[in-house]
A and B are shown apart, each in its own frame.
Chain A
Amino acid sequence: MSVQSFLLYSTLLLSLAACSSGTKEAPPIESLPMDSINLDNLDAFATPANGWQVAGNLYMNRQQPHQVQVKEGKGILVFNGPGNGELSTKWTHGDMDLELDFMLSPDADAAILFQGKYPLQLKDSWLKDSVTAADCGGIEEHAPALNACKAPGLWQHLEVKFKAERTGHGVIDAGFATVILNGRVVQQQPDLAAFAQDTLLKQTKMPGALRLVVNSGPVAFRNIRYKTYSDARASFAGLHYRVYKGVYKNHDTLKLMLPVRSGNTDSLTYRVGDKRAHLLLEGKLQLPVEGHYVFSVRGGGPVRLMIDGNVIADNGGTRDFLRPFYGDTLLKAGPHDFQVSYANYDECLVVEYEGPHIPVTALTTPASERLVEASPQMEYPVKGTAVIQRGFMEHGNEVDPYSMAVGAPGGINYAYDMVTYSPLMAWHGRYIDVAEMWHERGEKQLARPLGAPLQLPGIPCIAELPDKNAAWPDTMRVDSSSYTNRGYKLLPSGLPVFFYTLHQWSVEDYLHPRADGKGLNRDVTVTGSNSGDNAKAWWLLGSGGLIEKLPDGSYAVDDKHYYIETKDKPEIVESKGQYRLVLPLQAGKTMNIHYSITW
Chain B
Amino acid sequence: MKSKQYITVLALCGGMMLPALANAQTDMKAKESKYYSITDVPIPDSVKLEVGGLAFTPDDKLGVATRHGEIWLITDPYQKKSKQPTYTRFAYGMHETLGLAWHEGSFYTTQRSELTKVTDTDNDGKADRFQTIASWPLSGNYHEYSYGPLFLPNGDMIVTLNLSWIGRGASLAKWRGWMMRIKPDGAMQPYAGGMRSPAGFGLSESGDIFFAENQGDWIGSGRITQLDYGDFAGHPAGLRWSGEYGSPIKLTPEQFPDSIGILHDFAKKTPHFKEPSVWFPHTLMGISTSGVLSIDSDAFGPFKGQLLVGDQGHSKVMRAFIEKVKGKYQGACFPFLEGFSSGVLRMVWGSDHSLFVGMTSRGWASTGPKLYGLQRVNFKGVTPFEIKAMRAQSNGFELEFTMPVNKKQAADPGLYSITGFTYLYHKTYGSPIINQQSCPVVKSEVSEDGRRVRIYVEGLREGYIHELHVNGLKSQSGLQLLHNVGYYTLNAIPAGAGPACAISPRSLAAAGDANSRHACGSDPTKSVSVQPPGWTKPDVVLQVGTKPGLKFDVTELEVTAGSKVKLVFNNNDDMLHNMVITNPGKGDAVGKLAMEMGLSGSQQAYVPASKDVLFNTCLLEPGTSQTIYFIAPKTPGNYPYVCTFPGHYAVMKGVLKVKSKK
Interface residues of A (CB under 8 A from B): 246, 319, 387-392, 399, 401-402, 404, 418-419, 437-438, 440-445, 478-481, 484-491
Which residues in A have their C-beta under 8 angstroms from that of B140? 392, 399, 401, 445
Name which residue of chain B comes closest to A403, CB basis.
B95
Q: B114 near A444 (CB under 8 angstroms)? A: no
Most-contacted residue by chain B among A246, A442, A478 (CB, 10 A): A478
Which residues in B have their C-beta under 8 angstroms from that of A487? 116-117, 129-132
Q: What is the 8 Å Cβ interface bit string for chain B, positions 173-185, against chain A (1 contact, 0 not)?
A: 0110000000000
Which residues in A have their C-beta under 8 angstroms from that of B363? 440-442
Q: B127 near A490 (CB under 8 angstroms)? A: yes
Q: A401: which of B68, B129, B138 is its contact (CB, 8 Å)?
A: B138
Q: A478 near B113 (CB under 8 angstroms)? A: yes
What are 24 of the A-B contact pairs (CB < 8 Å)?
A: A387-B93, A388-B92, A389-B92, A391-B95, A401-B139, A402-B138, A418-B132, A418-B135, A419-B135, A438-B68, A441-B364, A442-B363, A445-B95, A445-B142, A478-B136, A478-B137, A478-B138, A481-B135, A487-B116, A487-B132, A488-B130, A489-B128, A490-B127, A490-B130
Q: A390-B93, A390-B111, A401-B112 are in contact. Are A479 and B130 (CB under 8 A)?
A: no
Separation of A490 and B116 alpha carbons in the complex (Å)? 14
Which residues in A have their C-beta under 8 angstroms from that of B327? none
**B 82-124 contacts with A by CB, 8 A:** 92-96, 111-114, 116-117
Which residues in B have their C-beta under 8 angstroms from that of A390? 69, 93-95, 111
A546 vs chain B, min Cβ distance (A): 32
Separation of A390 and B96 alpha carbons in the complex (Å)? 9
Q: A390-B93, A438-B68, A443-B142 are in contact. Are A479 and B116 (CB under 8 A)?
A: no
Which residues in B have their C-beta under 8 angstroms from that of A480? 188
Name which residue of chain B comes closest to A478, CB basis.
B137
B548 vs chain A, min Cβ distance (A): 11
Which residues in B have their C-beta under 8 angstroms from that of A388? 92-93
Q: A387-B93, A389-B93, A419-B135 are in contact. Are A479 and B188 (CB under 8 A)?
A: yes
Q: A441 near B93 (CB under 8 angstroms)? A: no
B268 within 8 Å of A (CB atoms): no
B549 within 8 Å of A (CB atoms): yes
Q: What is the 8 Å Cβ interface bit string for chain B, positions 359-377, against chain A (1 contact, 0 not)?
A: 0001110000000000000
A479 vs chain B, min Cβ distance (A): 5
Which residues in A have their C-beta under 8 angstroms from that of B96? 437, 445
B167 within 8 Å of A (CB atoms): yes
Most-contacted residue by chain A among B67, B117, B135 (CB, 10 A): B135
Which residues in A have their C-beta under 8 angstroms from that of B68? 438
Separation of A218 and B186 alpha carbons in the complex (Å)? 56
Which residues in B have their C-beta under 8 angstroms from that of A401? 112-113, 138-140, 144
Closest 10 CB pairs of A and B: A441-B363, A487-B131, A390-B95, A388-B93, A401-B138, A399-B140, A478-B137, A443-B142, A490-B128, A401-B140
Separation of A489 and B119 alpha carbons in the complex (Å)? 10
Q: What is the 8 Å Cβ interface bit string for chain B, positions 138-170, against chain A (1 contact, 0 not)?
A: 111010100000000000000000000001000
Q: B113 near A402 (CB under 8 angstroms)? A: yes
A444 vs chain B, min Cβ distance (A): 7
Which residues in A have their C-beta under 8 angstroms from that of B139? 401
Q: A418 near B69 (CB under 8 angstroms)? A: no
Q: A440: which of B128, B137, B138, B362 is its contact (CB, 8 Å)?
A: B362
Separation of A481 and B140 alpha carbons in the complex (Å)? 19
Q: A479 near B174 (CB under 8 angstroms)? A: yes
Separation of A440 and B139 alpha carbons in the complex (Å)? 20
Which residues in B have their C-beta under 8 angstroms from that of A489? 128-130
Separation of A445 and B164 alpha carbons in the complex (Å)? 13
**B 545-601 contacts with A by CB, 8 A:** 549
Q: A389-B69, A418-B114 are in contact. Are A479 and B136 (CB under 8 A)?
A: yes
Name which residue of chain A comes closest to B1, CB basis.
A441
Separation of A388 and B111 alpha carbons in the complex (Å)? 14
Separation of A390 and B175 alpha carbons in the complex (Å)? 21
Separation of A418 and B132 alpha carbons in the complex (Å)? 9
Separation of A543 and B506 alpha carbons in the complex (Å)? 88
Separation of A64 and B136 alpha carbons in the complex (Å)? 49
Q: B93 near A404 (CB under 8 angstroms)? A: yes
Name which residue of chain B comes closest to A480, CB basis.
B188
Which residues in B have their C-beta under 8 angstroms from that of A488? 129-130
B156 vs chain A, min Cβ distance (A): 17
Q: A485: which of B112, B131, B136, B167 is its contact (CB, 8 Å)?
A: B131
Give me 17 other A-B pairs in contact (C-beta within 8 A), A402-B113, A487-B117, A490-B129 excluded: A246-B549, A389-B93, A390-B93, A404-B93, A441-B142, A441-B363, A442-B363, A444-B142, A445-B95, A445-B112, A479-B136, A479-B175, A486-B132, A487-B116, A488-B129, A489-B128, A491-B128
Which residues in A have their C-beta under 8 angstroms from that of B127? 490
Most-contacted residue by chain B among A319, A402, A437 (CB, 10 A): A402
Name which residue of chain B comes closest to A401, CB basis.
B138
A79 vs chain B, min Cβ distance (A): 44
Separation of A365 and B442 alpha carbons in the complex (Å)? 69
Name which residue of chain B comes closest to A394, CB basis.
B140
Which residues in A have their C-beta under 8 angstroms from that of B116? 487
Separation of A325 and B16 alpha carbons in the complex (Å)? 40
Separation of A391 and B69 alpha carbons in the complex (Å)? 10
Name which residue of chain B comes closest to A476, CB basis.
B135
Which residues in B have their C-beta under 8 angstroms from that of A479? 134-137, 174-175, 188
Q: A390-B69, A401-B112, A440-B363 are in contact. Are A486 and B142 (CB under 8 A)?
A: no
B343 vs chain A, min Cβ distance (A): 13
Which residues in A have their C-beta under 8 angstroms from that of B364? 441
Separation of A154 and B142 alpha carbons in the complex (Å)? 37
Q: A486: which of B113, B131, B174 is its contact (CB, 8 Å)?
A: B131
Separation of A480 and B136 alpha carbons in the complex (Å)? 8
Separation of A480 and B187 alpha carbons in the complex (Å)? 8
Which residues in A have their C-beta under 8 angstroms from that of B167? 319
Separation of A441 and B94 alpha carbons in the complex (Å)? 17
Separation of A399 and B142 alpha carbons in the complex (Å)? 12
B53 vs chain A, min Cβ distance (A): 16
Separation of A487 and B68 alpha carbons in the complex (Å)? 19
B540 vs chain A, min Cβ distance (A): 27
Which residues in B have their C-beta under 8 angstroms from that of A481? 135
Q: A402-B113, A487-B129, A490-B130 are in contact. Are A442 and B135 (CB under 8 A)?
A: no
B93 vs chain A, min Cβ distance (A): 4
Which residues in A have their C-beta under 8 angstroms from that of B113? 401-402, 418-419, 478
**B 284-321 contacts with A by CB, 8 A:** none
Separation of A402 and B132 alpha carbons in the complex (Å)? 12
Name which residue of chain A comes closest to B363, CB basis.
A441
Separation of A490 and B186 alpha carbons in the complex (Å)? 22
Name which residue of chain A comes closest to B122, CB basis.
A492
Separation of A484 and B187 alpha carbons in the complex (Å)? 11
Separation of A389 and B128 alpha carbons in the complex (Å)? 14
Which residues in A have their C-beta under 8 angstroms from that of B142? 441-445
Name which residue of chain B comes closest to A481, CB basis.
B135
Which residues in B have their C-beta under 8 angstroms from that of A389? 69, 92-93
Name which residue of chain A comes closest to B3, CB basis.
A441
Q: B362 near A478 (CB under 8 angstroms)? A: no
Separation of A375 and B135 alpha carbons in the complex (Å)? 30
Separation of A107 and B134 alpha carbons in the complex (Å)? 50
Which residues in A have their C-beta under 8 angstroms from that of B93? 387-390, 404
**B 327-358 contacts with A by CB, 8 A:** none
Which residues in A have their C-beta under 8 angstroms from that of B188? 479-480
Name which residue of chain A comes closest to B93, CB basis.
A388
Name which residue of chain A comes closest to B165, CB basis.
A443
Name which residue of chain B comes closest to A389, CB basis.
B93
Q: What is the 8 Å Cβ interface bit string for chain B, positions 408-435, against chain A (1 contact, 0 not)?
A: 0000000000000000000000000000
B619 vs chain A, min Cβ distance (A): 25
A404 vs chain B, min Cβ distance (A): 7
**B 34-64 contacts with A by CB, 8 A:** none
Name which residue of chain B comes closest to A392, CB basis.
B140
Most-contacted residue by chain A among B93, B112, B364 (CB, 10 A): B93
